[in-house]
Each structure stands twice: as structure tokens, then as C-alpha cells.
């Protein structure tokens, strides 16, 4: 549980002239669940895209499993395929629900995936919709399909970008349970971005606060909430930060 | 993914039909650039199979105006030309574009028009006078307007009449003879046509009548020209020469004389090669 | 040769020429449309403007261009290389029609893939897609538009007369296709045959488009 999976050093990311992310130092351990909290525009989503190696960092290095990896178009496919992201807005393919869930397996050359797809759909409570067009689903159903599509891959790293924003409590509970179960059974490393401090506290082993692209504080969950070091963290957990 | 693959397979199937048709055996091909009149009258369909069988070569006929036919020869895009514009043929030879020219046959041009003949030119034997009268009356006249041999001849007649044909009555069609006859029929207009195409079109249901014929200026000789092979190595001068020898032979000339008699009651073309003339004397 | 045999010959040649030209323009036009629709590179705007211009190009102008190119007096025809088609051959017609159909296929493909949510590519990359797999996924999302692109290309060339007349020369048994035969028979006053040929052409254009719409509606919609 203590092995370091990600090590970020001096990582920045800019869009145009605007620097949206500047992380001097961050390590993520294999098997832990890290919750990233912070206001909108703090760079949380950018951090996830870098952790999935979908984009290159402007400066600095990200090592993954001891290897320095450059993200973007040239990222090694073998590394890319050990990580996956569930985005805040699920983008489903113009196919059936089952075909969407099987998609990532197909990319990896796996055939005859009906059984595993059926099992995962059952786990997220969507068995009855397997043959439906994915684009006809409600928001909560679509997000569960997106989660199933990620879980079925058994990734080493699961990145979640506000996966339960705008969902009703039943769907939130279902998704949280599915993720927690997978961590337990497979030792998956999870980084999830959330606005919801209660969710961060429920699910995170550690919690990180981001403000204006920078990490303010990273700590074990209890310490983060009970004895925050940085005054801005203290204000944030008390709900007193105005942004 | 499979569905798109099926679609692509369908495209490949289309392409399977689409592999360019194989050239029939390795038989030599002769590209004959000619005027529309020889094709549209049916003469070439009547004559060419005999050549193709006896010489084992295929003749590809590109039927265009005489202007474009001569241009095709000039650019070395055709092997042999069959055209009717004597003065321009002579220029063509003088410029070194052709290596051999032979008389083949003639037909004649006729001034045709609507049966009610609004300009009252019917029965005359003077083409220029008839043209002048049409211009004077302002009766509609459809010109080929395509730089063809027929168009060239028409301009000669206008020149002889001393008239520059302009005005709403003068329609420059820019089309082949058959199309111009159809147009003249529809618009109750006069036009100058070669006899062969006129007879063929009349059989198919146009209502134009011959109003002026037999004037010497309406004489329409056809010549065959072998394009200069020095233009490029693809020009097939050997088969072109065989084709010319065959076309001017007495046997083929007999067939030219016979063409159309059964259908129209009169020959459409009059054989006129050197060999034919010598034989007749 | 009977009328039916002559008609069949003309129909088959039309399908061969336009089918092969369509295949070539699809093989070139879909990748070009993907490139223009998905990538940003210097000169892209210029290329897009060129494609849009090409979509509206008059066939006769392309015909004249190919004619001058392939003429034995011209820059390519003068080389007399074996893989360069001669004038008045089906291959020359295929070349002209490929040039005509290419911008149609590329332009419609570009519009179709450009309309796909850019987040889709990021999403499938995050699910482990290689570049090719991601591009394919975008193409599949845009399949309706891509099929329309192919239909537009086919419709554009099966029914055009200007280019094939100029570069093909309307040679019987060799380069005479439906449209040039219609022009010829109309000029000769053979309206019966011209009408028959026109009906066949209409039928072909309709069948091809129907087939494409059918494929689109049936096996492409999940």
C-alpha cells in the first residue's frame, strides 16, 4: 500500500498564456484513494488529464511506476491502457449500452465480452438497459454507463472527475459503492475530483485542496478536516471560503 | 465498427465492377477524329466493322467539329482524321501536321427550312442569293456555330453573299448537326445541313424541307489525313496508312456508294477517291 | 448488337468508371476530410477554402483541365508513361471524375467529423484507444455524414456529362457512358433511346442513394 505510483515534480500546464496548473510536488501511492477538492477553475480537471497522460505538461516531470512518462499524442499506449477517466460529462458512443461498455475491451483486442459486460452492468444496476441506445439514457444512467465502461477495464488507476455532480442521492450512493468495492477487491488507485466535502471525507484516504492551480494542502483525511495546517484549508473545510 | 466495415466492403465491391475494362486483347487501336456528320449519318457504323475484321484493329471514333478534329491531329492526340474543310486541311498539311492526305468522298450541303418557307427561297439554285434573302427578311436561321466543316461552309456562303449575319434572327447553336436540325425544326428556322444527316433526321421525324441544292459552293468534299508520327511515339502511323488504303480502295468506295440507298432511296455520299476516279474513267 | 446489349454495355461502363472514381475519391477524400476536420495545421484554412471551391467546380472545367493535362501536347501526356492514362480512355474519365468527386467526399467528411463532440476523442483516448482507434471512433460517430459524403460523390459523378465528354470523347463500346450517350442520342433526335437512357440514369442514381440511406438507417443506427 505504500509503494509510490505517481510522482509529480515541478509540473505546470498552461493554455495560451494562462497557467492553469502548477504542482511543485505530489506523490500518489498505489492503492490509495485521493480526493481532490477546491473551487471551480482550480485546475483539478487539468490535473486528471495529466495523470491520464492525455496531455503533455508544459514543464516538470510525471513519473508513473518509476518511469517518467510524457503525456499527449506520443504517450505509450501500454501505460495509457492501465489508466482511465470517468469525466464529469459522460460522452457515450452512438451505440447500445452494452456496446459502450464493451468498447474499451474491444480496443484491447478482447472478444466474447458479453459475460463480463453483463456482470458489470448488473453491478451498476443497468442490466435492463443493455440493448438500449446509449444516447437515449437519462443523466444518471449515462454516468453509470460511463462508470461501468471504466470499471470493466480493471484499470490500475481510476480517475473520476466529479462523477456524481448533478446526480440524485440514489445514483450517488450506487456509484460510490461500485468504486469502493473495486478498490477493495482489486487495489485500484483512485483519484477523484469533487465539490462535495462530505463525499471527499467518505471516500478519500487522503484529501488535497487546490486553489488557483496550486496545491494548498495534502493530508490524511482526518487530519485534513480536523487539524488543517493552512489557514485557507481551514476556511475551506468550514465552508467560509468565498469564491 | 463491423457495420462500417460492411459499408467499405460494399465500396470495394463497387470497385470490383469498376476495374477498368481490359483492352480487347492486344489488338492495335486507331484513334479516328472525325466530324459528327460521318457518325451521326451512320456511315461509320456501316463501314468500320469491315476494317476491324480484315485488319484486326479497333477504330475508336471521336466525333467532334472539324475545328477540334484538326486540333486533335495538331496536338498528336489522334492517329487519323476524316474531315471536310478543304482549305483548312491544306493549311494543316502545309504546316506539317499531316503526312498523307487523300480525297475520300463528297456529299453536298443543302439549305433546309420550314415547309411554309417564310423567306420564299425554295427552288432556287443560288445559295448566296437565298442566304441574302433570309437575312433581308430576318427569318430565323440556326447556325452550327461550332467551327465545324459545316459551319465553315456556311460562313463561306455568307461571305459570298456579302453579309455579316448578326441579329436576333441568327442563332448560333454551338451543337452538332443532328441537334441543330432538331432545333431548326422546333423553331421553324432555316439551316445549312449536310445531306446525309438531313435525310437521316427526316426519317426520324423532322419536318424540314430541302429548299436550295446543287449550287457548286455547296459541294462538300471529305478528306482523310494521317497525322505526322513525328509528333509523338504513340501515333500509330502504320495502321493509319492501312486505314487510308482501305478507305480509298475501290471495294470500300463501292460500299460508300451503297450506303443509305436502301433506306433513303438515294446515296448519302458520293465516292471520290483517286482510285475510284481512275476506275470510273 | 441489340439495343438491350448496347444499353447494358453503356450502363456497365458508367458504373465502372464512376464506381472506380468513387473508390479512389473515398480512399483519398475520407482521410483528407479527417485531416481537415480534426487537425489544426498551417495552411488548413487555405485547404478548406480549396475544398469548398472544388465542391462547386463545374465538371467541364475539370474536363478541360484533365484534357490539357493528358493531351500528348500536355505536361503529363507528353511523358508517355505507362501509368498515365491516355485521352479518350476510361482511365482518363476515371481521373477526371476522381478530381470531381474528391472535394465532395472530403468536404462532407470534414463537416461530418467536425461536428463530432471534441470530447469524444479525449474520452476514447482515456479508454485506451490508439490514435487510429480514436480516429476510427470519430469516423464511426460521424458515419451518417460520411455516408452522405460518399453519396454526394457518387451523385456528382454518375450524372455529370461535361468532363467525361471532353476527356472520354464518347467513343462507342469504349468511353460512351450514360450521360454522353444521352447527349448524343438527343442530338441525333433519338428521343426514345435518350429517354430510356435517362430513366436508367435516374434509376441508378436513385438506387445508389437509396442503398446508402438504407444502410445508414439500418445497420448503422444502434
A80 interfacial to chain C (CB closer than 8 Å):
yes
* pLDDT (tens digit per residue) in B209-242: 999 998 989 988 999 999 999 988 889 999 999 9
Domain of B245, CATH number, reads: 3.40.190.10
CB-closest option in C124, C128, C140 to A153? C128
Strand partners, B107: B220
* Cβ-based contacts of B45 with chain C (< 8 Å): 172
C189:B1 CB<8 A:
no
Nearest CA in chain C to A104: C127
pLDDT at B25 > cutoff 70: no
What are the residue boundaries of the structural domains of chain A, listed by start?
A: 4-237
Instruction: Give the residue carrying C-alpha cell 511543485.
Output: A24
Calculate mean pLDDT across residues B1-15.
57
* pLDDT (tens digit per residue) in A91-111: 999 999 999 999 999 999 998
CA distance linking residue C179 with residue C198, whole number of Å: 8
A84:C128 CB<8 A:
yes
C137:A87 CB<8 A:
no
* Cβ-based contacts of A96 with chain C (< 8 Å): 222
Confidence of residue B33 (pLDDT cuts 50, 70, 90): very high
| Cβ pair A19, A192 in contact under 8 A | no
**DSSP letter (8 states) at residue A96:** B
In a domain, B181, yes or no: yes
In a domain, B12, yes or no: no
Q: How much is the pLDDT for C1?
A: 53
Sheet arrangement for strand A59-64: A18-29, A4-15, A59-64, A67-68
CA distance linking residue B225 with residue B217, whole number of Å: 23
- The segments of chain C whose pLDDT lies below 50 read 219-222
User: Domain A4-237 belongs to what topology?
Assistant: Rossmann fold (3.40.50)
**Which of B181, B198, B218 is where one domain is finished?**
B218
CA distance linking residue C98 with residue C65, whole number of Å: 13
In a domain, B8, yes or no: no
B4:C220 CB<8 A:
yes
- The segments of chain A whose pLDDT lies below 70 read 1-2, 241-243
Q: What are the residues whose beta carbons fall under 8 Å from the beta carbon of A39, sequence distance 6 or more?
A: A211, A241, A243
Q: How much is the pLDDT for B8?
A: 58
Burial class (CB within 10 angstroms; exposed 0-12, middle 13-18, buried 19+) of A194: buried
Phi-psi region at B42: left, alpha or beta (left = phi > 0; alpha = psi -120 to 50): left
Taking the CA of residue C185 and the nearest CA in chain B, the distance in Å comes to 9
Q: What are the residues whose beta carbons fall under 8 Å from the beta carbon of A115, sequence distance 6 or more?
A: none
Q: How much is the pLDDT for B173?
A: 86
In a domain, B4, yes or no: no
Output the CA torsion C49→C52→C57→C62 (10° steps): 70
Taking the CA of residue A126 and the nearest CA in chain C, the distance in Å comes to 17
In a domain, B2, yes or no: no
Burial class (CB within 10 angstroms; exposed 0-12, middle 13-18, buried 19+) of B85: buried
Q: What are the residues whose beta carbons fall under 8 Å from the beta carbon of B41, sequence distance 6 or more?
A: B194, B196, B197, B199, B200, B260, B268
Output the CA torsion C51→C53→C54→C59 (10° steps): 170
A93:C120 CB<8 A:
yes
Calculate mean pLDDT across residues B21-44.
78
C119:A150 CB<8 A:
no
CA distance linking residue A82 with residue A65, whole number of Å: 11
B97 interfacial to chain C (CB closer than 8 Å):
no
b/e per residue B42-66 (b: at least 16 CB within 10 A) = bbbeebbeebeeebebbbbbbbbbb
Residue B95, C-alpha cell as written in the block: 504546316
CB-closest option in C127, C130, C143 to A84? C127
Q: Which residue has the higher pLDDT, C5 or B153?
A: B153
pLDDT at B1 > cutoff 80: no
Q: How much is the pLDDT for C81?
A: 76
Q: How much is the pLDDT for B202?
A: 86
Q: Could you tell me where the beta strands, DSSP code E, fall in A30-165?
A: 33-37, 59-64, 67-68, 83-86, 157-161
Strand partners, B33: B62, B81
Q: What is the number of other CB atoms lying within 10 angstroms of the CB of residue B123?
A: 10
Nearest CA in chain C to A102: C127
CB-closest option in C119, C128, C222 to A107? C128
Taking the CA of residue C43 and the nearest CA in chain B, the distance in Å comes to 30
C187:B19 CB<8 A:
no
B265 interfacial to chain C (CB closer than 8 Å):
no
Interface residues on C facing A, Cβ-Cβ cutoff 8 A: 117, 119-120, 122-131, 133, 137, 140-141, 143, 222
**Which residue range is the domain that position B165 belongs to?**
108-218
- % residues pLDDT > 70 (chain B): 90
In a domain, B118, yes or no: yes
**How far apart, in Å, are the Cα atoms of B252 and each of B49, B51, B225, C60?**
12, 9, 17, 38
Taking the CA of residue B204 and the nearest CA in chain C, the distance in Å comes to 7
Helix (H) or strand (E) holding B259: none
Are residues B160 and B68 part of one domain?
Answer: no
Residue B109, C-alpha cell as written in the block: 450541303
Nearest CA in chain C to A101: C127
* Cβ-based contacts of A191 with chain C (< 8 Å): none
Q: Which residue has the higher pLDDT, B188 or A1?
A: B188
b/e per residue A98-124 (b: at least 16 CB within 10 A) = bbbbbbbbebeeeeebeeebeebbebb
pLDDT at B156 > cutoff 60: yes
A85 interfacial to chain C (CB closer than 8 Å):
yes
Mode of pairing for the β-strands spanning B190-194 and B80-83: unpaired
CA distance linking residue A119 with residue A122, whole number of Å: 5
A91:C120 CB<8 A:
yes
In a domain, B192, yes or no: yes
**DSSP letter (8 states) at residue C19:** H
A5 interfacial to chain C (CB closer than 8 Å):
no
Count of helices and strands (H, E) across chain B: 13, 10
Q: What is the largest CA-CA distance in chain A?
A: 54
ipTM exceeding 0.85, yes/no:
yes
User: Domain C3-218 belongs to what topology?
Assistant: MetI-like fold (1.10.3720)
* pLDDT (tens digit per residue) in C53-81: 999 889 999 999 999 998 888 888 777 77
The total number of residues written for chain C in this structure? 222
B12 interfacial to chain C (CB closer than 8 Å):
yes
pLDDT at B270 > cutoff 60: yes
Q: Which residue has the higher pLDDT, A60 or B21?
A: A60
| Cβ pair A144, A175 in contact under 8 A | yes
Taking the CA of residue C205 and the nearest CA in chain A, the distance in Å comes to 29
Neighbours of chain C (3+ CB pairs under 8 A): A, B
Preferred mutation among A93, A143, A161 to probe C, highest tally of C CBs within 10 A = A93
* Cβ-based contacts of B1 with chain C (< 8 Å): 136, 140
Pick the range with the lowest mean pLDDT from B75-79, B247-251, C86-90.
Answer: C86-90
Q: How much is the pLDDT for B187?
A: 87
A185 interfacial to chain C (CB closer than 8 Å):
no
Q: What is the number of other CB atoms lying within 10 angstroms of the CB of residue A16?
A: 6
Q: How much is the pLDDT for B196?
A: 81
CB-closest option in C13, C19, C91 to B15? C19
**Which of B197, B218, B239 is where one domain is finished?**
B218
Q: How much is the pLDDT for B4?
A: 57
Q: What are the residues whose beta carbons fall under 8 Å from the beta carbon of B183, sequence distance 6 or more?
A: B142, B171, B173, B175, B189, B191
Domain count, chain B: 2
Amino acid at each position: 500500500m505504500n509503494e509510490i505510483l505517481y510522482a509529480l515534480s515541478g509540473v505546470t500546464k498552461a493554455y495560451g498564456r494562462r497557467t492553469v496548473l502548477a504542482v511543485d510536488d505530489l506523490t500518489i501511492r498505489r492503492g490509495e484513494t485521493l480526493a481532490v477538492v477546491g473551487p471551480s477553475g482550480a485546475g483539478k480537471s487539468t490535473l486528471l488529464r495529466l495523470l491520464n497522460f492525455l496531455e503533455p505538461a508544459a514543464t516538470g516531470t510525471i513519473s508513473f511506476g518509476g518511469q517518467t512518462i510524457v503525456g499527449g499524442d506520443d504517450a505509450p499506449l501500454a501505460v495509457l491502457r492501465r489508466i482511465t477517466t470517468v469525466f464529469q460529462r459522460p460522452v457515450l458512443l452512438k451505440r447500445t449500452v452494452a456496446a459502450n461498455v464493451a468498447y474499451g475491451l474491444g480496443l484491447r483486442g478482447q472478444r466474447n465480452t458479453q459475460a463480463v459486460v453483463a456482470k458489470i452492468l448488473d453491478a451498476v444496476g443497468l442490466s435492463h438497459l443493455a440493448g438500449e441506445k446509449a444516447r437515449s439514457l437519462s443523466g444518471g444512467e449515462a454516468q453509470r454507463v460511463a462508470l461501468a465502461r471504466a470499471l470493466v477495464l480493471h484499470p490500475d488507476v481510476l480517475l473520476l472527475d466529479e462523477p456524481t455532480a448533478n446526480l440524485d442521492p440514489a445514483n450517488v450512493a450506487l456509484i460510490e459503492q461500485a468504486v469502493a468495492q473495486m478498490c477493495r477487491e482489486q487495489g485500484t488507485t483512485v483519484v477523484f475530483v469533487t465539490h462535495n466535502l462530505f463525499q471527499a471525507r467518505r471516500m478519500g484516504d487522503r484529501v488535497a485542496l487546490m486553489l488557483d492551480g496550486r496545491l494548498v494542502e495534502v493530508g490524511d483525511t482526518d487530519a485534513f478536516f480536523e487539524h488543517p495546517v493552512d489557514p485557507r484549508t481551514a476556511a475551506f473545510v468550514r465552508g467560509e471560503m468565498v469564491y | 465498427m463491423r457495420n462500417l466495415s460492411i459499408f467499405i466492403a460494399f465500396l470495394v465491391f463497387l470497385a470490383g465492377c469498376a476495374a477498368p475494362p481490359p483492352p480487347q486483347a492486344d489488338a492495335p487501336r486507331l484513334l479516328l477524329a472525325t466530324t459528327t456528320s460521318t457518325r451521326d449519318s451512320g456511315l461509320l457504323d456501316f463501314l468500320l466493322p469491315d476494317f476491324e475484321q480484315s485488319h484486326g484493329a479497333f477504330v475508336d471514333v471521336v466525333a467532334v467539329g472539324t475545328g477540334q478534329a484538326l486540333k486533335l491531329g495538331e496536338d498528336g492526340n489522334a492517329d487519323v482524321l476524316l474531315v471536310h474543310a478543304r482549305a483548312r486541311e491544306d493549311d494543316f498539311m502545309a504546316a506539317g501536321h499531316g503526312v498523307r492526305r487523300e480525297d475520300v468522298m463528297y456529299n453536298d450541303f443543302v439549305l433546309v427550312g420550314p415547309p411554309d418557307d417564310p423567306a420564299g427561297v425554295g427552288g432556287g439554285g443560288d445559295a448566296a442569293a437565298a442566304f441574302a434573302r433570309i437575312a433581308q427578311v430576318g427569318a430565323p436561321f440556326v447556325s452550327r456555330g461550332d467551327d465545324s466543316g459545316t459551319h465553315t461552309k456556311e460562313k463561306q456562303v455568307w461571305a459570298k453573299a456579302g453579309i455579316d449575319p448578326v441579329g436576333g434572327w441568327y442563332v448560333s447553336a454551338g451543337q452538332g448537326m443532328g441537334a441543330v436540325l432538331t432545333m431548326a425544326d422546333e423553331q421553324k428556322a432555316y439551316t445549312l445541313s449536310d445531306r446525309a444527316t438531313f435525310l437521316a433526321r427526316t426519317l426520324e421525324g423532322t419536318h424540314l424541307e430541302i429548299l436550295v441544292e446543287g449550287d457548286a459552293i455547296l459541294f462538300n468534299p471529305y478528306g482523310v489525313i494521317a497525322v505526322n508520327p513525328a509528333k509523338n511515339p504513340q501515333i500509330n502511323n502504320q495502321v493509319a496508312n492501312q486505314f487510308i488504303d482501305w478507305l480509298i480502295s475501290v471495294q470500300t468506295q463501292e460500299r460508300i456508294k451503297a450506303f443509305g440507298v436502301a433506306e433513303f432511296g438515294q446515296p448519302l455520299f458520293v465516292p471520290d477517291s483517286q482510285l475510284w476516279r481512275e476506275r470510273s474513267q | 448488337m441489340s439495343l438491350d446489349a448496347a444499353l447494358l454495355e453503356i450502363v456497365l461502363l458508367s458504373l465502372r468508371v464512376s464506381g472506380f472514381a468513387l473508390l479512389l475519391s473515398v480512399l483519398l477524400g475520407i482521410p483528407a476530410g479527417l485531416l481537415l476536420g480534426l487537425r489544426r495545421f498551417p495552411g488548413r484554412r487555405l485547404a478548406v477554402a480549396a475544398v469548398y471551391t472544388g465542391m462547386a467546380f463545374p465538371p467541364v472545367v475539370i474536363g478541360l483541365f484533365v484534357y490539357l493535362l493528358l493531351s500528348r501536347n500536355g505536361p503529363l501526356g507528353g511523358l508517355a508513361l505507362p501509368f498515365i492514362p491516355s485521352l479518350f480512355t476510361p482511365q482518363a474519365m476515371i481521373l477526371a471524375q476522381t478530381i470531381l468527386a474528391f472535394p465532395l467526399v472530403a468536404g462532407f467528411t470534414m463537416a461530418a467529423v467536425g461536428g463530432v463532440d471534441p470530447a469524444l476523442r479525449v474520452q476514447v483516448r482515456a479508454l485506451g484507444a490508439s490514435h487510429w482507434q480514436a480516429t476510427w471512433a470519430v469516423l464511426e460517430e460521424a458515419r451518417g455524414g460520411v455516408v452522405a459524403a460518399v453519396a454526394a460523390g457518387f451523385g456528382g459523378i454518375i450524372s455529370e456529362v461535361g468532363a467525361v465528354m471532353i476527356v472520354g470523347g464518347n467513343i462507342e463500346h469504349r468511353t460512351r457512358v450514360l450521360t454522353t450517350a444521352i447527349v448524343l442520342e438527343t442530338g441525333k433526335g433519338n428521343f426514345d433511346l435518350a429517354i430510356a437512357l435517362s430513366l436508367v440514369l435516374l434509376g441508378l442514381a436513385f438506387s445508389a442513394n437509396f442503398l446508402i440511406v438504407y444502410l445508414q438507417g439500418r445497420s448503422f443506427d444502434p
